[in-house]
């Protein structure tokens, strides 16, 4: 496998990220929705690039002292190579350097791959949101990581 490089999201990534969304989610973010994050002052998005093509990305919103992970996704053919962990590590490092107290996220309660990744990175399940997801309808686990534990 050739090297994976992390880049801050820019306008040249948008088409690849929309493709990743369609490959990963039943309700993908639109191209416009992703592009809107470029002008969001609270957004921090990293893109994993391999051979000039985006193969994964992770995004977060930083609001006061809480960082909210909005999304993390890796193309199916690029999974289990450490890209998800690399993206999440970059987001956690950003949160720590920015002085946030906590990182939080929602994840489908059946999403074993993502939950295992989050647990490995120090996140704990602290609650549920009933029927948070559609297509199919499913509860979300709320998971958080205290920055002091980084």
Binding site for ligand COA (CB under 6 A): 24, 72-74, 79-85, 107, 111-114, 116-117, 120
Q: What size, in residues, is the chain?
A: 150
Cα-based torsion angle of the residue sequence 91, 140, 64, 92 in order, rounded to the nearest 10 degrees:
-20
Beta strands 102-108 and 124-133, pairing class: unpaired
CB nearer ligand COA, residue 74 or residue 91: 74
By Cβ distance, which residue is nearest to ligand COA? Answer: 84
Compare residues 31 and 138 and give the one whose CB is closer to ligand COA. Answer: 138
- For the CB of residue 36, give the shortest distance to ligand COA in the complex, in Å: 19
- H/E stretch holding 35 reads helix 31-36
User: Looking at beta carbons only, is 38 or 50 nearer to ligand COA?
Assistant: 50
Q: Collapsing DSSP states into helix, strand and coil, what is residue 79?
A: coil
């Amino acid at each position: 496998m050739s090297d994976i490089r992390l880049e801050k999201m820019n306008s040249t990534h948008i088409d690849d990220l929309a493709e990743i969304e369609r490959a990963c989610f039943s309700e993908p973010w639109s191209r416009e929705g992703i592009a809107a994050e470029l002008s969001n002052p609270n957004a921090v998005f990293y893109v994993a690039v391999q051979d000039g093509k985006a193969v994964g990305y992770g995004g977060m919103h930083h609001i006061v002292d809480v960082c909210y992970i909005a999304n993390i996704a890796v193309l199916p053919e690029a999974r289990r190579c450490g890209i998800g962990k690399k993206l999440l590590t970059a987001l956690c490092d950003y949160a720590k350097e920015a002085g946030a107290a906590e990182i939080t996220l929602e994840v489908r309660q059946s999403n074993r791959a993502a939950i295992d990744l989050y647990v490995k990175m120090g996140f704990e399940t602290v609650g549920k949101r009933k029927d948070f997801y559609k297509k199919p309808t499913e509860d979300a686990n709320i998971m958080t990581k205290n920055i002091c534990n980084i």
